[in-house]
Amino acid sequence: MRVAMYYNNKDIRIEEIPVPGIGPGELLVRIEASGICGSDVMEWYRIKRAPLVLGHEIAGEVVEVGEGVDRYKKGDRVVASHHVPCNTCRYCLSGHFTVCDTLRRTNFDPGGFAEYVRLPSINVDRGVYLIPDEVSFEDATFTEPLACVIRAQKIAKPRPGETVLVIGSGIAGLLHIQLACAMGAGRVIATDISETRLHAARAFGADAVIHAGQDIQTEVCKVNDGWLADKVFVCTGARSANLQGLESIERGGTVLFFAPTDLGVTLPLSVNELFFRNDITLTTSYAGSPADHVTAMKLIRAGRLKTKEMITHRLSLSETSKGFQLVAEAQESIKVIVEPQR
């Protein structure tokens, strides 16, 4: 089968490898659509494991079922979690599924930028979700990124009527904007350095947009009746964006850092100003739990979020390199989907 083998962001080669054989409890899935995530182009993180096949936002059709699998059958349309928790360790039992050691070790064989993927038995047991008939393969690829956003908002707990500031209006930021609107945010403000993405933020529900080159603190107050934001979601790893998040939060508010930074990035934190005097909460979020994936699929099925409209590029497997460049440049693309069967 053909795969897009990652060597670095500018060196992705179409290679031939054997179709994975499956064992008891496993599934073989023909990949119909696979989204390129911003984390796929974090070269400092990926290159140390190269060469490898990336891609974890997958949707496809079951073509082979291993012995002992009775919940799925050939022909089922599915999405799957690449990382799944054990559900029994101290982290899982306390609700922290995404820091589970098992979750950090599990994955597909190979990644989703391939014609076929083997789902190990543990993934089949706790990380495969049927795609409803009315949901397309490409819409279904949003299940995993939306699950991550759902978990983040569950942690930050924006309440109806509060002002939410989303810093960075790429795919994650736009999903945060849409979910905040769906959950009753009083006002949603978005920032970015790209005019294209600011336009998208407005189109997907932001009440106000601010160019990231401006004084964000001042501009938020201008559009928010003199107040800073109650909740801030920082959806870019740029150090300047992280600092803007710290400067734009109202007393008693929460800043959630959704995107990792480059290696070695640190931020100056005043314990007195942030915590002692102003009662600010700083937190992060990584990945999504199985329950978050279920919720994400329900929201997509119900049409509560615009997913198809976020797709700017649909590429063949042979065009995966182009897709990586589009995502890395973060200019004209919003969501890039690779369709290995084209």
User: Over 90: is that where the pLDDT of 274 sits?
Assistant: no
According to the model, what pLDDT value does residue 108 have?
A: 93
82 contact partners, CB below 8 Å, separation of at least 6: 56, 58, 106, 107, 108, 111, 112, 123, 127, 144
User: Over 90: is that where the pLDDT of 263 sits?
Assistant: no
Q: How confident is the model at residue 2 (pLDDT cuts 50, 70, 90)?
A: very high
What element of type H or E holds 249?
strand 249-257
According to the model, what pLDDT value does residue 106 have?
A: 95
What element of type H or E holds 4?
strand 2-8
State the DSSP code for 298. H
Q: CB neighbours (10 Å) of residue 299?
A: 20
Helix axes 239-247, 216-223, angle to 10 degrees: 50
According to the model, what pLDDT value does residue 26 have?
A: 98
Per the CB < 8 A criterion, the answer to whether 5 and 22 are in contact is no
Dig out the tokens for 173 from the structure: 């930021």
Candidates 203, 209, 261; CA nearest to 235 is 261
Domains 2-142+307-339 and 149-284 share a fold: no
State the DSSP code for 131. P
Q: Which 3 state secondary structure label does DSSP give 235?
A: coil
Distance CA 11, CA 263 (A): 22
Euclidean distance between the first and the last CA atom of the chain, given in angstroms as a whole number: 13
CATH number given to 149-284: 3.40.50.720
Q: How confident is the model at residue 273 (pLDDT cuts 50, 70, 90)?
A: confident
| Residue range 129-148: mean pLDDT, rounded | 98
Dig out the tokens for 260 from the structure: 């990792």
Strand partners, 281: 254
| Residue range 28-52: mean pLDDT, rounded | 95
Query: Which CATH class name applies to 2-142+307-339?
Result: alpha beta
Specify the length of the chain in residues: 342
Dig out the tokens for 329 from the structure: 């440049």
Residue extents of the structural domains in the chain: 2-142+307-339, 149-284
Q: pLDDT averaged over the chain?
A: 96
Per the CB < 8 A criterion, the answer to whether 223 and 189 are in contact is yes
The pTM (predicted TM-score) of the whole model is: 0.96
User: Over 90: is that where the pLDDT of 330 sits?
Assistant: no
Distance CA 62, CA 66 (A): 11
